[in-house]
Chains A and B, each alone.
Chain A
């Protein structure tokens, strides 16, 4: 797979690292927005290599981790019902709700089926008309087109046994809420390449102007990330705030119009509760009224998912860079990767989970 190797070349990586170190004159704090980027930064050791030069704050960008506990609780409840099968992406299964995760629910008899695409869930519904299939639609703007397509397929087949718990979240409103917080420490953003592939990056123009922070669209391979970090640091050192696309091999300014149209057709913007954040204005997508026959909330008589109250988890403080995970009182005691309390401990690439494993290396 040459495509990947090109973006993992150790020599080039070292050159980029040296260059970042060379031009950095003071401590800068960057945030990578997307969980995929966090994963890659940790997996390839970039965050550690940059310690003392550039501080990376691991953003809220894992749609699985920020899914509100109340939505998971609802999914668990539905899956317990005799006539319902809950179809979900695999990584949603370990995320705890208030009474355990979907995996726990499955162990006590709930019907859960892992799928690899929303269309798989539609196919299941088509093949087994006597069973209600509920797809747990989680993800950023990147996955929204695929779930929108699933709704259209279900409509075309006139399926009466397919619906969705729509938990899509939108990245930019979360970035806004972060920079507006008085505690904000983020000085520049690595914008999520995948999301921009779909949404384009034009909309960041006004964001950059409003907040005077550099935003650099960045990919996921180690060289992509180092390149994006270097671009951020260059701007910061030059006291500039611009929008830059360093992922041009995939991302175009306007994004993928047909995917956007599809999302527009099926969904509308709504306020959404983010785990660890509370409600973010315009932070989510919900079905438009004309597609609401596919809304599992309505079909199974749940008028609205109540917002789960902010718990003892200090993930907001972690995600705004105010505290490092080990400073959270629950870190490593009540909260571990095996039994996580909050979003950043939930997935192995979350900041708390990563620190849990390293933290041990950095404390003497």
Chain B
């Protein structure tokens, strides 16, 4: 099996050009000596420096804050590392920031661990670090501590990133899916399935025209607007990452012991995503998103929530998609062409394209 042995065969599909005399990550970069320091100084600090990181202490020393804290962690192993609309770096930042934002926290600090595969081009690492820095600036989160490990060739897929994010919880904190009530309204912040399809199309070189773009981005602003507009009316928010919208609805149905019911025709899906899904027999409701969330609000607050979301470009196509009902036998239902309610499947593992 040769596909991983040669750095040139990595799927860095984007317009990434690796210079002929490129420098690569070696095992020595991970051994704590001079090369390690060089990697940190010349590459990582060069992109990500701030007042906390510069100290290079074993632990970041952080100021006291008022409110209670939210803490989240996530690992990013996306392949390919670059995809239309984003890359593993921006994904790691937005993913962590979004997890904090939808939990009702103002993102403050973030730790960043890089697991690099021996032979990884440093030029590519720099591009990803720049993307990390840009996303962090955009979301006002500070990278305060980090770690770098190098693993032998073949042990990782180029680069893995792990983050932990700390945020300050701000009232009103959305009380969570266990508090859902009958007649609560369900909203989606934008077109679904874009990240899943963008990554699939790039990884499998499906050669699609136009290329579907990932929704990889920050939900911070839309959450802040919702909070200031109708904060008390929001029951819960969740970015619909792996498993897509269907997985979020199933989790909420389980937590609340109610039935969540949506209308297919109200769920925004871009023509590119819909086309690919039809072709491969996939359901956009099962496809991953990285900057799109599901929101539940109290009865009657749906219209106001949608209005608020529509006021900024990131969530301009927000839509009310359904409603919470008393528990039927099926936890999540969907109305498609005919008006009868159909069960909506909980995705079983990752969606696999069909042939028939």
Contact = CB atoms under 8 A, between A and B. Distances in A.
Interface residues of B, number: 32
Contact of B336 (A44, A116, A131): A44
B343 interface: yes
A14 B340 CA distance: 11
A128 interface: yes
A1 B271 contact: yes
B120 to A, nearest CB: 22
Interface string A73-104: 00000000000010001110110000000010
A39 to B, nearest CB: 8
B66 interface: no
Interface string B247-288: 000000000000000000100000100110010110000000
A159 interface: no
Contacts of B328: 361
A53 to B, nearest CB: 14
A130 B1 CA distance: 9
B345 A13 contact: no
Interface string A134-154: 000011101100000000000
A111 B1 contact: yes
A49 interface: yes
A10 B337 contact: yes
Contact of A143 (B206, B343, B348, B355): B355
A42 to B, nearest CB: 7
Contacts of A178: none
Contacts of A142: 356
B16 interface: no
B206 A116 contact: yes
18 contacts: A8-B337, A13-B337, A14-B339, A17-B338, A34-B356, A44-B337, A44-B342, A45-B338, A45-B341, A49-B338, A85-B1, A103-B349, A116-B204, A116-B206, A131-B2, A139-B356, A348-B345, A361-B328
In order of increasing CB-CB distance, the 5 nearest A-B pairs are A90-B352, A45-B340, A90-B353, A222-B337, A91-B354
Interface of A: 1, 4, 8-10, 13-14, 17, 34-36, 39, 42-46, 48-49, 61-64, 85, 89-91, 93-94, 103, 111, 114, 116, 128, 130-131, 138-140, 142-143, 194, 222-223, 337-338, 347-348, 357-358, 360-361
